[in-house]
């Protein structure tokens, strides 16, 4: 660290600015956004003059709103400073609230007047981030209203919008949404958030690959047999059934988070480390995804849905019994798939991706399976053969591990698999920043490196669209049911039939210590 000049704090001078959150009473704002802003405040990373304006349909006084923010901080902020009431009071003095119906034109007039008044009083320039923490069907409506009231104009300060996922519902709708947003905002003003890119450990994949000399030489089809990416979650959809039933795991996790992780794992090294150069490389990966033909979908993509199960004496609801879910829903809560990247580096190397709700463990990791040594000297005395793997553990207990064979001490040449594991927490005494802290700060400085660009969003939609369409139009493609606390339908292992292997359970040695 000592010889590393640029740290997150020194990155770029932060201009005074305002963050306006549409949907500030919602779950995301309460659980993630406001605690993230609070943490930036604790870390002294906010600009000197800074304000948050929350908007929402609820009639609520500023005092009441601040009291609610305080409650959210108690529940969701990580730092113990949330219990220091004078300190929290200071933070809350930057928070404001205005009631706003996103569909009411006149409310945006009121918002404009409110902004003008507050900014005049506090002499903060009109540098504004609009955070769309609202249902996706309102993105266009709000963007249009901002334009109508000239709240997008940059003559008196920059304006940026942060748009949450899902960005569109399909390739066509994503393109349409993009066109609408571009009517009032330039690409450089649009920040499409994918919180996976804000995870320290996803960024660390780039550092692991490109700051070291010894990973990159083997990072290709010559040495790599296959790559597995898993994002498993132990919880079900909970209270989000209404949203999730129209989305499913493919739209909720794969189209964005997992394909972005895949792009970082598979990208070519950029020539320089800047937003354009990096995003130019990741988009190429997404554009090179081999489309899965309609006839092959049942074989290459396995979808599943969890059913009611008793786990440790407690009955877990099945997906169809969750609040907001249709009783005959065919929405997938699990997806496992095999895909290929058609380029020189990855030609014919299979990538396996899986994600699901109600699985036995919460873990996100990338496992690079290397090919075995070309000549197996110890074959007769060593069974099974040692496996060589690089494991990039994204969460929890983040880190990197390498698995390989070693001689068991003593007579003969018995070989056993061992591993060397590095725990990310060893690198810092302080906490690892949450994704939303990093991403908000990046947007405040105008750095879009870790935000998804329009061409990348389009490319990943294009890839998943054909699968979604096939699922919709062909009821013969099975939806497998799986019990909670299992690794999804056993059919997910059929993806490996040609390799005589199966999904690897998440790396057991990564335990917090």
Q: Does 365 bind ligand BG6 (CB under 6 A)?
A: no
Q: What count of other Cβ atoms lies within 10 Å of the Cβ of residue 503?
A: 17
Q: Does 200 bind ligand BG6 (CB under 6 A)?
A: no
Cα torsion through 505, 506, 512, 513, rounded to 10? 60
Name residues contacting ligand BG6, limited to 437-456 (CB under 6 A).
Answer: none
Binding residues for ligand BG6, total number by CB under 6 A: 4
Sequential DSSP letters for 176-223 = HHHHHHHHHS-GGGEEE--GGGGSHHHHHHHHHHHS-SSSGGGSSTTT
Min separation Cβ 482 and ligand BG6, Å:
17
Min separation Cβ 235 and ligand BG6, Å:
7
Sequential DSSP letters for 392-418 = EEEESS-EEEEEEEEEPSSSS--EEEE
Q: Encode burial over 305-326: b for 16+ CB neighbours within 10 A, e otherwise.
A: bbbebeeeeeebbbbbebeebe
CB 133 within 8 A of CB 165: no
Min separation Cβ 363 and ligand BG6, Å:
10
The residue (of 257 and 453) whose beta carbon lies closer to ligand BG6 is: 257
257: annotated active-site residue: yes
Query: Is the peptide bond between 433 and the residue preceding it cis, with omega within 30 degrees of 0?
Result: no
Chain position carrying tokens 């790559």: 227
The residue (of 56 and 236) whose beta carbon lies closer to ligand BG6 is: 236
Min separation Cβ 138 and ligand BG6, Å:
17
Beta bridge partners, 431, equal none
CA distance 203 to 450: 9
Min separation Cβ 208 and ligand BG6, Å:
20
- What 3-state DSSP class applies to 389? strand
Pairing type for strands 363-370 and 224-232 reads: antiparallel
Name residues contacting ligand BG6, limited to 160-199 (CB under 6 A).
Answer: 195
CA distance 366 to 392: 5
Q: Does 252 bind ligand BG6 (CB under 6 A)?
A: yes
The residue (of 94 and 258) whose beta carbon lies closer to ligand BG6 is: 258
The residue (of 138 and 402) whose beta carbon lies closer to ligand BG6 is: 138
CB 22 within 8 A of CB 133: yes
Min separation Cβ 460 and ligand BG6, Å:
14
**What are 351's two structure tokens?**
């990538």
The residue (of 183 and 431) whose beta carbon lies closer to ligand BG6 is: 431
Give the Å distances, CA to CA, from 474 to 105, 295, 461.
43, 10, 19
Beta bridge partners, 162, equal 131, 191
Query: Is the peptide bond between 359 and the residue preceding it cis, with omega within 30 degrees of 0?
Result: no
The residue (of 305 and 364) whose beta carbon lies closer to ligand BG6 is: 364
- Angle separating helix axes 62-76 and 85-92, nearest 10 degrees: 130
Name residues contacting ligand BG6, limited to 28-57 (CB under 6 A).
Answer: none
Min separation Cβ 78 and ligand BG6, Å:
14
Min separation Cβ 245 and ligand BG6, Å:
12
Q: Which listed residue (96, 257, 300, 369) is catalytic?
A: 257
Residue nearest to ligand BG6 according to CB distances in the complex = 252
CA distance 417 to 105: 65
Min separation Cβ 233 and ligand BG6, Å:
5
Among 68, 178, 233, 442, binds ligand BG6 (CB under 6 A): 233
CA distance 402 to 406: 12
- Angle separating helix axes 200-210 and 259-266, nearest 10 degrees: 20
Return phi, psi of residue 87, to 5°.
-65, -45
Task: Report, as residue numbers or ranges, the catalytic residues.
Answer: 257
Residues forming contacts to ligand BG6 in the complex (CB under 6 A) are 195, 233, 252, 364
């Amino acid at each position: 660290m000592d010889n590393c000049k640029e740290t997150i704090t020194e990155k770029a001078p932060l201009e005074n600015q305002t963050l306006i959150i549409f949907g500030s009473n919602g779950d995301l704002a309460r659980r993630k956004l406001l605690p993230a802003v609070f943490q930036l405040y604790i870390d002294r990373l906010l600009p000197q003059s800074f304000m948050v304006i929350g908007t929402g349909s609820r009639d609520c006084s500023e005092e009441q709103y601040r009291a609610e923010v305080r409650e959210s901080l108690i529940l969701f902020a990580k730092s113990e400073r949330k219990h220091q009431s004078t300190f929290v009071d200071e933070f809350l003095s930057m928070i404001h609230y205005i009631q706003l119906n996103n569909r009411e034109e006149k409310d945006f007039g009121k918002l404009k007047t409110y902004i003008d008044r507050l900014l005049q009083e506090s002499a903060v320039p009109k540098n504004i981030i609009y955070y769309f923490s609202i249902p996706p069907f309102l993105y266009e409506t709000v963007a249009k209203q901002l334009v109508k009231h000239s709240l997008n104009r940059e003559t008196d300060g920059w304006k940026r919008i942060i748009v949450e996922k899902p960005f569109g519902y399909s390739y066509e709708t994503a393109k349409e949404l993009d066109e609408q947003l571009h009517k009032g905002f330039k690409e450089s003003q649009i920040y499409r958030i994918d919180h996976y890119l804000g995870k320290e450990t996803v960024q660390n994949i780039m550092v692991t690959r490109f700051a070291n000399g010894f990973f990159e030489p083997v990072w290709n089809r010559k040495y790599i047999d296959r790559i597995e990416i898993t994002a498993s979650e132990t919880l079900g959809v909970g209270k989000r059934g209404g949203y999730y039933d129209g989305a499913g795991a493919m739209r909720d996790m794969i189209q964005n988070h997992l394909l972005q992780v895949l792009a970082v794992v598979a990208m070519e090294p950029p020539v320089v480390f800047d937003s354009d150069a990096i995003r130019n490389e990741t988009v190429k990966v997404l554009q090179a995804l081999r489309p899965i033909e309609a006839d092959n979908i049942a074989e290459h993509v396995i979808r599943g849905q969890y059913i009611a199960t008793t786990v440790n004496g407690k009955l877990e609801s099945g997906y169809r019994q969750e609040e907001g879910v249709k009783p005959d829903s065919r929405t997938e809560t699990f997806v496992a798939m095999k895909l290929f990247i058609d380029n020189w580096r990855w030609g014919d190397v299979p990538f396996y991706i899986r994600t699901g709700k109600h699985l036995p463990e919460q873990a996100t990791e990338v496992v690079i399976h290397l090919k075995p040594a070309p000549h197996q000297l110890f074959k007769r005395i060593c069974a099974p053969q040692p496996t060589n793997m690089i494991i990039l553990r994204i969460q929890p207990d983040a880190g990197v591990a390498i698995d390989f064979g070693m001689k068991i001490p003593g007579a003969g040449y018995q070989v056993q698999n061992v591993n060397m594991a590095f725990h990310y927490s060893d690198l810092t005494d302080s906490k690892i920043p949450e994704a939303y802290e990093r991403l908000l700060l990046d947007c405040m400085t105008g750095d879009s490196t870790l935000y998804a660009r329009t061409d990348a969003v389009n490319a990943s939609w294009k890839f998943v669209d054909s699968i979604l369409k096939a699922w919709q139009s062909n009821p013969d493609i099975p939806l497998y049911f799986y019990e909670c606390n299992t690794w999804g339908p056993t059919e997910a292992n059929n993806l490996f039939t040609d390799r005589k292997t199966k999904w690897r359970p998440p790396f057991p040695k990564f335990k917090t210590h």
